[in-house]
Amino acid sequence: MAKVIFAVMPSLSGSGHQLWRRVGLSLGAVAVLGGAATGIAAAARPLPIVHPELAVTLPSSSGTLAPTASIGLSVRHAHLEAVSVRTSAGLLIGGSVAHGVWKPTAPMPWATTFRMVATARGGRPARTVTRVVSWTTPQQPLPAGTIGITISPSPGEQVGMGATWVVQFSQPIPAADQPMVLQRLSAGESLSDPLGWHWWSPTEVDGRPEQFWPLNEQATLTVNLNGLAINGERLVNSSVSSSFTVVNQHIARISAATHEMLVYNGSQLVRTEPVSLGRPGFPTISGTLVVLSKTPVVFMNSATIGYPGLYAQNVYDDVAISTDGYYIHMANWDIYDHGRHNVSYGCVEQNPSDAVWFYNWSIPGDVVVITGTTLQASEADGEGDWNIPWSEFQPA
C-alpha cells in the first residue's frame, strides 16, 4: 500500500474568501505549496552500457607482409594495454606503437610467420578485449643475375632435315633446376608430336623431333629464363629466340666397306663418289651425323690429335661432321686409294672434283650416315643427337 501524506491547501470560495482544505498526496508526487516546487522523491536511472572496441588491420589482405610493414591499431572507448609480436618459434619481435600504428624496431626476418596479440581495456562496465592476427614475410629477394644463352641454328638460317636445336648456357644449370628450364623452352613447329630434349651437360641441352624434319618446315624456339632463381640469382635479361627453315632433304651414305659415298636428295640418288676412310688405328666415326659447318681451308696438324709429325698442311673444301676434327674433304695426295682402301687419319677423303661438288651441295643440317667403322659417334664428337634412342629425350 502506498503511503499518503497530507498537506493543507488554500482555496477560494465563491465569494473570494480563502478556504483551507486537506489534500492527500502519494509519495513521489510533487506538492506546490505557496507557489514553490518541492521534489518529494526521484527514481534512479542506470547508466548505458559502453562496449570497448579494438581492431587490428594488416596492410595486405594476402597475409604476406614486407619485413618493414606497419600494423594498424584502432581503439574506441578503451585504452591500449599491450601489443606483443612473436615468431612461430616464440622469438619476441621488438616494436613500438605511435599514432595508431605498430612498427617493428628492425626489419622482421624473411620467410617467417608472426603472431600479434593486442589487448585493450575500457568501456562500461570496464572489461578487456583481445585481438590476434598472423602474417608471413616472403622469401628474401635474390640479387639479379644474367645467364648468357646461345641457340643454334641462328635466326633465319636455312638448314637440312637433320638440324637439331642446340641451346648452350654460360653457367651450369643445376640438375634440380633443369626440369624448370625445360618448361621455359617454347618451340613452334608444324609437327603433331612435341620435340624431345636431352641434357648433354649442365651447360647444353639439345632438341629434335623423333624423325628428320619435313621439307619446308619453319621452326622457332624461344628460351626465356627471366624470373627464374638459379645459382642464387633471380634471372633478368636472359631470353633468346631463334628460327630456321628446312630447305632440303640431303643425305649422304658413306660405307667404310665399299669405300663409296652415295648422295641422295630425299629418296633420289644424285651422285656416287669414291672415298677413303680412316686406316687401322685411326677409325672414322660411324653413326648418323649432320653437317655442322663448311670451311674453304683448314690447317690440319697431327700434333693436335697426339701424333706429331704425321701431317701438317692446308686442306681444302672441308665439310665438318663433328666438333672434334672429323671432316669430309679434298685429298689430292692419295687419289689412287679412293674407292679402294681406307688410308686416312680419320677423315673422309674425296677426289678434288667430288670435294668441290659436295662442298657446294652441302649446308648445315644435311644428314651424313657412316657405317662400317669401329668407332661409334657420341656426344664427345658433338654428334650425339641422332645416335641415342628417342627414349632418352624428354618433352619440354
Task: Identify the three-state secondary structure at position 123.
Answer: coil
% pLDDT > 70, the chain? 89
Query: According to the model, what pLDDT value does residue 316 have?
Result: 98
Cα–Cα distance, 138 to 61 (Å, whole number) = 14
| Whether pTM exceeds 0.75 | no
Check residues 31 and 332 and name the one with the higher pLDDT.
332
Identical topology for domains 53-136 and 144-246: yes
Query: According to the model, what pLDDT value does residue 42 have?
Result: 55
Residue 13 has pLDDT above 80, yes or no: no
Residue 23 has pLDDT above 50, yes or no: no
Residue 243 has pLDDT above 70, yes or no: yes
Average pLDDT over residues 127-137: 97
pLDDT digits (tens, 9 = 90+) for 258-304: 999 999 999 999 999 999 999 999 999 999 999 999 999 999 999 99
DSSP state of 342: -
Query: According to the model, what pLDDT value does residue 45 have?
Result: 85
The grid cell for 372 is 662400317
Q: DSSP characters for 366-387?
A: -EEEEES-SEE--GGGT--TTT
What does the mean pLDDT of the chain come to?
A: 90
Average pLDDT over residues 379-392: 89
Residue 3 has pLDDT above 70, yes or no: no
Poorest-confidence range of 69-83, 135-149, 191-205, 376-390?
A: 376-390
Cα–Cα distance, 38 to 30 (Å, whole number) = 6
* pLDDT tier for residue 24 given thresholds of 50, 70 and 90: very low
Residue 7 has pLDDT above 50, yes or no: no
Biggest CA–CA distance in the chain, Å, is 171
Query: According to the model, what pLDDT value does residue 379 have?
Result: 84
Between the CA of residue 311 and those of 202, 299, 375, what are the distances in Å?
A: 36, 10, 22
CATH class (in words) of the domain with range 250-381 = mainly beta
Residue 167 has pLDDT above 60, yes or no: yes
**CATH architecture for residues 53-136:** Sandwich (2.60)
Helices (H), the chain: 178-182, 352-361
The grid cell for 88 is 612461430
pLDDT digits (tens, 9 = 90+) for 51-84: 999 999 999 999 999 999 999 999 999 999 999 9
Residue-range domain boundaries for the chain? 53-136, 144-246, 250-381
Phi-psi label, residue 196: left if phi above 0, alpha if psi -120 to 50, beta otherwise: beta
CATH class (in words) of the domain with range 144-246 = mainly beta
**Cβ atoms 150, 205 nearer than 8 A:** no
